[in-house]
Amino acid sequence: MIVAALACALGACESPTAKPPAASLARSDVPDSQLSVLTERVAFERHRVEQRLRGDWELPQNPKDRSCTDLASGDLAKDTLVLDVTDARPDGRQLFSLDLTNELTSSDLQALEPLYRPGTAAKARRELMSTKAAEEALSKLSELAERRYAAVFHVTHLAAPKLFHDPKKRFPEWSPGWMMGWLAIHDLGETDALCQLRIEVRSDTRDAPRERRLRETTQRALLRALAARFHDAGERAQAKLGAGLTWPHARSDREPLAAAP
């Protein structure tokens, strides 16, 4: 009894009212105050950048091929182009597919996705992994805010590849797809084009599968391949325009074009 009392006096026994160590109270799902502040900053800066990268792009009323003056500043962050696409078809009632849009737009904000906690994509105020992740996100957004110019695909005509059956032939075949329009350089925040060049491409459907059960999958792959050709034609056109700007890297989230069956 005396030994037990001495042990308690020396702190060797536990009191029912004793508080656990502070570290044990820390929960991974409780946001740190600094992280909460940084999360708010990231959300604000992301919205500001998104608004700046969007535009109501327009071409001249009767556009003609026109080259640019040298727009390069020598700073890669400022001289890298933002890619966007706009529907300039006379009758654009049918929206572009997501596959086509993905091929013709840059994915700059996709670089932020690994920095967010999984499962927060649908929330207005998305949670970041850590303060370090938040600081990295702010750094990337700061770099994007330096961009000055957009390369915009103005699509004026689009005919998707279609499977048809010529009565004179034994098997159905695919008609080639066709895209025509303009690649124009725009000052971010401005509507009018600084310069533009007409581009036109057709798809190669000779080796496309002709089975009707694969029609939808094949057509999707062929349309993506057509958009990829239009993208590459835009890159070549940008080099001819003489603006001296940098074409962005290919999207990292693109599926391989060989995915067609």
Instruction: Name the DSSP letter for residue 105.
Output: S
Mean pLDDT for 146-150 is: 94
Mean pLDDT for 3-30 is: 42
pLDDT at residue number 64: 94
pLDDT band at residue 127 using 50, 70 and 90 as cut-offs: confident
Cα–chain center distance at 127: 20
pLDDT at residue number 218: 80
Classify each residue of 243-254 as buried b or exposed e, where b means 16 or more C-beta atoms within 10 Å of its C-beta. bebebbeebeee
pLDDT at residue number 171: 74
pLDDT at residue number 203: 87
All structural domains of the chain with their residue ranges: 31-249
Asked if 94 contacts 223 with a C-beta cutoff of 8 angstroms, the reply is no
Decide: helix, strand or coil at residue 10.
coil
E-strand stretches of 26-90: 82-87
Mean pLDDT computed over every residue of the chain: 80
How far apart are alpha carbons 220 and 177 in whole angstroms?
A: 11
Please determine, for residue 58, whether its predicted confidence score (pLDDT) is greater than 90. Answer: yes
pLDDT at residue number 123: 55
Q: What is the pLDDT of residues 173-216, one digit of tens each?
A: 777 889 999 999 999 988 999 999 999 999 887 776 666 666 67
pLDDT at residue number 244: 93
Whole-model pTM over 0.95: no
Please determine, for residue 169, whether its predicted confidence score (pLDDT) is greater than 50. Answer: yes
pLDDT at residue number 252: 46
How far apart are alpha carbons 132 and 146 in whole angstroms?
A: 22
24 burial type by CB count under 10 A (0-12 exposed, 13-18 middle, 19+ buried): exposed
In this structure, the number of other CB atoms found within 10 A of the CB of residue 110 comes to 11
Please determine, for residue 247, whether its predicted confidence score (pLDDT) is greater than 90. Answer: yes
Q: What is the pLDDT of residues 100-124, one digit of tens each?
A: 999 999 888 888 888 998 877 655 5
How far apart are alpha carbons 104 and 224 in whole angstroms?
A: 10
